[in-house]
Amino acid sequence: MAKKTTIKDTRPIKQDNDKTTKLEAFVADSTGTKLTTNHGVNINDDQNSLKAGDRGATLLEDFILREKITHFDHERIPERIVHARGSGAHGVFKVYEDMSSTTRAAFLCDPGLETPVFVRFSTVAGSRGSTDLARDVRGFAVKFYTQEGNFDLVGNNMPVFFIQDAVKFPDLVHAVKPEPDNEIPQAASAHDTFWDFISHMPESAHMVMWLMSDRAIPRSYRMMEGFGVHTFRFVNAQGVASFVKFHWKPLLGVHSVAWDEAQNISGKDPDFHRRDLWDAIEAGAFPEWELGVQIVAEEDEFKFGFDLLDPTKIIPEELVPVQRVGKMTLNRNPDNFFAETEQVAFHVGHVVPGIDFTNDPLLQGRLFSYTDTQLIRLGGPNFHEIPINRPVVPVHNNQRDGYMRQTINRGKTSYGPNGIAANDPQQVTAADGGFVSYNERIDARKIRARSRSFFDHFSQARLFFNSQSEAEKNHLIDALSFELGKVKMVEVRTRMLGLLSHIDKGLAAAVAYSLGLHVPLIPLEELNSSVPADADPADYTPEQKEGELAKSEALSMSGTVKDTIATRRIAILAADGVDGKSLSKVKDALVAEGAIVHIIAPKLGTILSQEDQQIQVDESFLTAASVLYDAVYLAGGTNSSATLEAEANAVHFLNEAFKHCKAIAADVAAIQVLEATYFYKKLPDEYSQETVLREGIVVSEDLSSLVALFIRMIALHRFWDREVPRKIPA
């Protein structure tokens, strides 16, 4: 048989590399003369979801809301659209006292019951690869594995939100995400599209105050509050309902880092918060929060000057105190990050008997959105069967098959009612624990509108600003100046200044000065651009109210817990020839108080004390940085001090710690190292204990007195008074 000959085609392959031409058919401008659905239907109102009355439930009939949110929920594969970067841990929750008078939720009614939980903390805007230290909202989601099924308390570290209606959620996230033409910037709100959106949405004013405050850059996940954001309902066994707001109060207090420090940490250790949580649990320093609730009787729904259903509002704690009803302890790290932290699926719609929803229009939209998102992110309708999402109680229903089904269901029937299987599984009466929705009366017309009770956008933003300490106010002004300074379009900056002037004229003037602009006079009726096509703009004009309170102590971090140094990271600077005895005494005293102490030297390995003892070094100046520690101690010893004085990195370490307002202590024998710093000559000549606790710097030859004062200083967290008179290069 003759061998088949293959003739090779040597003609040059014609290539068409003109991608622009190929893509032209698919290019469309992002703007147009008419707003339409994906199917070309003109939209009359893109600002409000369809409700049963202006304060009523959102209707499933709203095809515009469903299309918009469905498309939005499926925009990213596979990471979460928001809250992509997270960190999680297992733990337990126990209620202090029986709460059956207000709720029939079993895990809140039995003080002897220990409920397993899984918690996921997260940033919101950034991708999975972004930094932990972005200026951002932090997610605080808790999955309770109760004996009645899973309850998910899906919240944030801020109690309010940017928008009042879920129909605007895709717009908000599109605005804050990297700009679509260049995918810049990552994990940052300091750009044109975000502030353009905010400047046209005065309902965001309150949330902007929180976002620009120090709450947006927490010291750790363990030192931040959590909030359920929405108003929910408690329902007791008698069917009596009350409104409830959920809070998480950290037992270590609420603390932050400085903005300049946060930017440095992002370069030194972008996993700073993840590592902090993991290390604390591994060390047995289990993070703890108390669950707090604000309960409002149904008959008091309208007694406040704000609407309980408005997610841009808080209930000030002076009006309704927070009752601390239980404690959550995180005591175990995940075994596998992907299988647990990444695959965990939270949903505001996962409630148990005794907890129910309200007609908050943002909450109503989230009830649809979460399931829709998990369908694409986790591969189909069986995401509840992934181990981290499984309840601790058996699951029986007639749902079958689908992608990634893991349960092998026996039997002939998968429907109900049925006679073949004696109608099994059967419905459960309320008396036996069956979930029954609260019997709320609904009598309203179908309408796309917003209640006038939602239109006070500034009184609580003003309350938040007025409640801050002077240092916190300065930080907030600096944050707004930084963010708006990154905005390229002057008209956006100017419009935002006009919005700020309705919160506080002094705030607006301070930001305007930094931007080199004047505060414009923008009337209230010109602020709101989210007006439906056929609506009277007057109906959407924001209201200017004073509010019930001038200040609220709970809104400032200055009054938080400051009586412990547990888990604080302390750096001890030392070198060969260090006074080993005094170093050990200081270190032992700090460790006894629960602090984490690292010895930092010019090189790794060991240093030799003046007593000829080898001391293990934890970090060198090459790998350590002051931004990773809460306080600094300068050990004594003649040779050690001489080495550190000549070590530029040691001097910079101290200068930077001073710049970021941290506690600094030094053995009197190390005074020459302090003298080499920039800040030393600016310190007071005479020191008293009062001066020390104000300045946050102590030098003493009395080691016992020094250690006691140093511990008090660390507990105070920061000495923000340093910032105003003495800015230093570092």
Q: Which residues contact 45 (CB under 8 A, 6 or more apart)?
A: 448, 532, 533, 534, 535
Distances (CA, A) of 311 to 245, 360, 559: 11, 7, 25
Residue 431 has phi, psi (to 5 degrees) of -65, -30
Q: Is 156 a catalytic residue?
A: yes
Residue 398, Cβ density class (10 Å: 0-12 exposed, 13-18 middle, ≥19 buried): exposed
| 3-state SS class at 365 | helix
Catalytic annotation, pick one of 48, 83, 347, 359: 83
As a whole number of angstroms, the distance between CA 23 and CA 218 comes to 44
Residue 162 amino acid letter: F
Distances (CA, A) of 533 to 44, 198, 543, 685: 5, 20, 21, 68
DSSP secondary structure letter of residue 92: E
Q: In what order do the strands lie in the sheet with 619-620?
A: 619-620, 596-601, 569-573, 631-634, 663-667, 697-700
Query: What angle do the packed helices 703-715 and 580-592 form, to 10 degrees?
Result: 40
| 567, 596 contact by CB (below 8 A) | yes
| 213, 225 contact by CB (below 8 A) | no
**Length, in residues, of the chain:** 730
As a whole number of angstroms, the distance between CA 342 and CA 118 comes to 12
Q: In angstroms, what is the C-alpha Rg of the chain?
A: 29
Distances (CA, A) of 88 to 333, 337, 387, 409: 7, 8, 15, 32
| 488, 234 contact by CB (below 8 A) | no
Bridge partners (DSSP) of residue 638 are none
| 3-state SS class at 508 | helix
Tell which phi-psi region holds residue 520, choosing left (phi > 0), alpha (psi between -120 and 50) or beta: beta
Distances (CA, A) of 319 to 69, 314, 469, 656: 36, 10, 21, 42
Catalytic annotation, pick one of 48, 90, 150, 156: 156
DSSP secondary structure letter of residue 6: P
Query: What angle do the packed helices 63-73 and 169-176 form, to 10 degrees?
Result: 30
| 334, 341 contact by CB (below 8 A) | yes
Distances (CA, A) of 146 to 391, 497, 572: 8, 48, 45
| DSSP run (H or E) holding 282 | helix 272-282
| 3-state SS class at 115 | strand
Q: Is it true that the peptide bond before 170 is cis, omega within 30 degrees of 0?
A: no
For residue 513, the Cα-to-chain-centroid distance in whole angstroms is 30
Active site residue ranges: 83, 156
